[in-house]
Amino acid sequence: MTDTVGISLLGPGNIGSAVVGALARGSDRYAARVGRPLELRRVLVRDASKPRDGVRADQLTTRIEDVLADAGTQIVVELMGGEEPARTYIEQSLRAGKHVVTANKEVIAKAGAALLQIAADHGVRLLYEASVGGGIPVIAPLSRDLLANEVTAVTAIINGTTNYMLTAMTQQGADYGAILAEAQRLGYAEPDPTADVEGFDASYKIAVLCGLAFNVDVAPGEVTRQGISGITARDIAYAGQLGSVIKLLARARLVDGEVEVSVQPTLIGRGEPLAKVDGVLNAVQLEGDLVGRVLFEGPGAGPGPTTSSVLADVLDIAQDIVAERAPRPAVPRRRVRVRPPEEHMARYYLRIRVLDQPGVLARIAKSLGDAQISIASVIQFDSEDQATEGTAELVLTVHRASGAALQGALAEIRRMDSVVEVGNVLPMEG
Amino acid sequence: MTDTVGISLLGPGNIGSAVVGALARGSDRYAARVGRPLELRRVLVRDASKPRDGVRADQLTTRIEDVLADAGTQIVVELMGGEEPARTYIEQSLRAGKHVVTANKEVIAKAGAALLQIAADHGVRLLYEASVGGGIPVIAPLSRDLLANEVTAVTAIINGTTNYMLTAMTQQGADYGAILAEAQRLGYAEPDPTADVEGFDASYKIAVLCGLAFNVDVAPGEVTRQGISGITARDIAYAGQLGSVIKLLARARLVDGEVEVSVQPTLIGRGEPLAKVDGVLNAVQLEGDLVGRVLFEGPGAGPGPTTSSVLADVLDIAQDIVAERAPRPAVPRRRVRVRPPEEHMARYYLRIRVLDQPGVLARIAKSLGDAQISIASVIQFDSEDQATEGTAELVLTVHRASGAALQGALAEIRRMDSVVEVGNVLPMEG
């Protein structure tokens, strides 16, 4: 029993500084909420000789052992990012009987279930609201306001970089390369943009959301993943003609006791709420049997929003500490079968470059028909530049089909002499 | 101590039936969550001889006394709507030591603070998540996920009827009367639409939100209120030229320890998330010092969404009953000064019909300038129909000004010989 709730931070940086600043500015308010002041104890850094705003020199340390051995530290806040050593430090903190709050999507996606079990075994909590969707509230709505519902689907825009890029491509009619360069110049994309543009970041986050929404354990590698680097200005223009925009959607659905989970550039009708989430904003849409669809939108990243979520978790734990409430027993994560992409059912958009000859469409339509896939619409665009003279682009949309049926038909279509190239194949939402 | 948690319903109807159905369908799941089955006890109806799905004849009653006297009823769910007798029944239930869950915005807006005090005095809880925004989660995000923030503003679209109508007017370029008739035909507007179109419904809800977001008690009559019946297709077209749409926005802001709260048709830039909330959807946007802006969007009405919120409240209370947790002591509502419209600061859109003569604009600009109001833009639209031949319409936007300064200048402008009519004066968001 102490007269404060002690908090130590792992990792300085922007977010860490914002958390330190907010703890200082809000100290009276937080103390009133919790019933006891929050006290900053140790801050783990790489270089303890560098001064940090709001942190005394004697609070800085380069050794995790100093945090673990500090009896006054009841909550460890991990803000280092990356898989290691963050994962190990989180585990060590839990085993030392300290509650942990983290913003680390990679660790939670890859090791969340195991770490939650360790937390439960040691009578402490592991919270991670900030690891998905920055400041957007997700945990409380799921655990309280939507509790009467069976939540059956989560559809989300949870990568700000790619949403910024796709929005800019749509608004400017520009191609991927130009917009990536612009995003890098503005600091919205990393010098190596792979984690964002190839969908890895979003796949970590949707894996985390499967745990929160369905209590189902999904490994990031099980997420069907397709990045945006293959999306062209033409795809976006064609989508526009179909009344849609292209968004990198992260989706998870419970279907017949199995889970379908994917991150894919997806056509979505312009009138849909998710289609209107533009720029660096993030959004999470939940579907429940009673409520229908609700959408939460907000800033997906940045020091302020991340601090908001980190401190929400900290205050939740601090209130429990003061009330001497034991953590509720862990509900063990369920393992259910994760469907491979061949079994995903979706409507699809297909872009196929063909020789401008009679009969091509008939042959393509026959291949699709033989695979029991029905065509919903076809638009033919004649080539407008020299490089592709004598060819035309067919944009087809097809009714719901399995990934397997579609891939089978596409393999046959690719072998046709009159087919120059099968371009993008994208799912359509709704 | 009983082996169930007993629930009685006041008011049958669509919502009541949906609640009864959901309790039956979800009984196993809810029992697992709560740790004890939920049991439907009594249902208060006007006509007990009329059979109701899922309710035994001996559960029906026309007398509130039967509910109050039922020792097995621990939670009373009030779904009657309207002020009386709902308010009295809620009070009687609380005084009888029963928790109450209500979807009744009018009662909560008018008597919420008093009823919350009565609940606290009797050691029971009064919850009302369903009274605002249908199924949209509001309570849990405010009380948990955004707890680290100082919430300083709530901006909401919380009346589905008017949002449907303004969306249709925008999309069809149609006038108010035609769209009202269409909305009435489709069942989106009542035969007497006053409560919706004049902003009374939204003013109840924003008063409730002031309690939830700021813990401040505001009476519905203190809400600055302007309906949409004066909005014309021309206003919407002019707003469009200014890059905006018109929405009936309910807004509440904490400014220097006072509250500004209004329901008004408002111009809002097309790129803003709230501008994109269309049709019967509702949305609540919260602004916090850390998170910035987050928006919650979803169905604002209907049996399913309302049931989702009602049962969230019921499950919350039921969990407390089983855990034998006493209700937290009531935080007394604060009374702060509610600013009259004269003190509201906003940018404004002004539509003024003038004689098509030289010098008119200069005189109007002088009046505004004398009141320290600066003009941001002016567009002149010449009359296109005979009735107003020889006149022109000036659409002005002005920088931030107080309501008092603006009304002073408008009084002077109205007196000018060359001014035919001061049309709509609408605030601009942002």
Q: What distance in Å separates the CA atoms of residue B88 and residue B84, rounded to the nearest whole number?
A: 7
Q: Are the beta carbons of B309 and A140 separated by less than 8 Å?
A: no
Buried b (16+ CB within 10 A) or exposed e, B96-111: bebbbbbbbbbbbbbb
* Same domain membership, residue A151 and residue A275: yes
**In the structure encoding, which two tokens stand for residue B160, read together?**
């589905």
- Which tens digits make up the pLDDT trace of A131-172? 988 889 887 788 888 999 999 999 999 999 999 999 999 999
CATH number for the domain including B153?
A: 3.30.360.10
Q: What distance in Å separates the CA atoms of residue A138 and residue A130, rounded to the nearest whole number?
A: 9
* Same domain membership, residue B143 and residue B93: no
Q: Which residue reads 């409730």 in tokens?
A: B208
* Same domain membership, residue A156 and residue A102: no
Q: For an interface test with B, give the residue of A289, A291, A317 to mutate (most B CBs within 10 A).
A: A291
* Same domain membership, residue A308 and residue A294: no
Which one is catalytic: B98, B205, B276, B366?
B205
* Same domain membership, residue A123 and residue A151: no
Q: Is B29 on the interface with A (CB under 8 A)?
A: yes
Q: Which residues of B touch A316 (CB under 8 A)?
A: 144, 147
State the pLDDT at residue A193: 96
pTM: 0.93
Has residue A22 been placed in a domain? yes
Higher pLDDT, B220 or A301: B220
Q: Which positions ≥6 away from B25 have C-beta within 8 Å?
A: none
Q: Are the beta carbons of A290 and B296 separated by less than 8 Å?
A: no
Are A73 and A49 contacting, i.e. CB atoms less than 8 angstroms apart? no
* Same domain membership, residue B117 and residue B185: no
In order, the DSSP letters of A401-416 are: EEHHHHHHHHHHHHT-
CATH number for the domain including B362?
A: 3.30.70.260
pLDDT at A80 exceeding the cut of 80: yes
Question: Residue B329 — very low, low, confident or very high, per pLDDT cuts 50/70/90?
Answer: low
Higher pLDDT, B300 or A305: A305
User: How many domains in chain B?
Assistant: 3
**Could you say which of B290, B298, B316 has the minimum Cβ distance to residue A144?**
B316
State the pLDDT at residue B279: 93
How many of the other CB atoms lie within 10 Å of CB of A329?
Answer: 7
The domain boundary, picked from A248, A264, A299, lies at A299
Q: Are the beta carbons of A298 and B291 separated by less than 8 Å?
A: yes
Q: Which range has the worst mean pLDDT, A147-161, A319-333, A367-381, B337-351? A: A319-333
Are A10 and A103 contacting, i.e. CB atoms less than 8 angstroms apart? no
CATH number for the domain including B103?
A: 3.40.50.720
Has residue B15 been placed in a domain? yes
Cis peptide before B85 (omega within 30 of 0): yes
Q: What distance in Å separates the CA atoms of residue A95 and residue A91, rounded to the nearest whole number?
A: 6
Q: How far off is chain B from A129, nearest CA to CA, in Å?
A: 8
* Same domain membership, residue B143 and residue B285: yes
State the pLDDT at residue B430: 75
Interface of A with B in 222-251 (CB under 8 A): none
> Which structural domain range is residue A366 located in?
342-428
- Per the DSSP assignment, residues forming a β-bridge with B44 are B10, B61
* Same domain membership, residue B254 and residue B144: yes
Has residue A333 been placed in a domain? no
Q: What distance in Å separates the CA atoms of residue A234 and residue A173, rounded to the nearest whole number?
A: 8
pLDDT at A1 exceeding the cut of 60: no
* Same domain membership, residue A351 and residue A295: no
**Could you say which of B33, B141, B302 has the minimum Cβ distance to residue A140?**
B141
Q: Is B54 on the interface with A (CB under 8 A)?
A: no
Q: Are the beta carbons of A144 and B136 separated by less than 8 Å?
A: no
Size of interface A-B (CB pairs under 8 A): 164
Has residue B329 been placed in a domain? no
Question: Residue A337 — very low, low, confident or very high, per pLDDT cuts 50/70/90?
Answer: very high
State the pLDDT at residue B1: 52
Q: Are the beta carbons of A137 and B150 separated by less than 8 Å?
A: no
Has residue A332 been placed in a domain? no
* Same domain membership, residue A82 and residue A31: yes
Interface of B with A in 295-314 (CB under 8 A): 295-299, 302, 304-305, 307-309, 311-312, 314
- Catalytic annotation present for B105: no
- Which tens digits make up the pLDDT trace of A210-227? 998 998 999 999 999 999
Rg (CA), chain A: 24
Q: What distance in Å separates the CA atoms of residue B204 and residue B181, rounded to the nearest whole number?
A: 25
State the pLDDT at residue A330: 66
Q: Average the pLDDT over A289-299 and give the result.
A: 95
Has residue A337 been placed in a domain? no
pLDDT at A6 exceeding the cut of 90: yes
Sign of CA pseudo-dihedral A327, A330, A331, A337: positive
Nearest Cα residue in chain A from B317: A144
Q: For an interface test with B, give the residue of A101, A147, A316 to mutate (most B CBs within 10 A).
A: A147
Has residue A346 been placed in a domain? yes
Q: Is A137 on the interface with B (CB under 8 A)?
A: yes
pLDDT at A303 exceeding the cut of 70: yes
State the pLDDT at residue B20: 96
* Same domain membership, residue B273 and residue B151: yes
* Same domain membership, residue A159 and residue A281: yes
Has residue A114 been placed in a domain? yes
Q: How far off is chain A from B238, nearest CA to CA, in Å?
A: 23
State the pLDDT at residue A278: 95
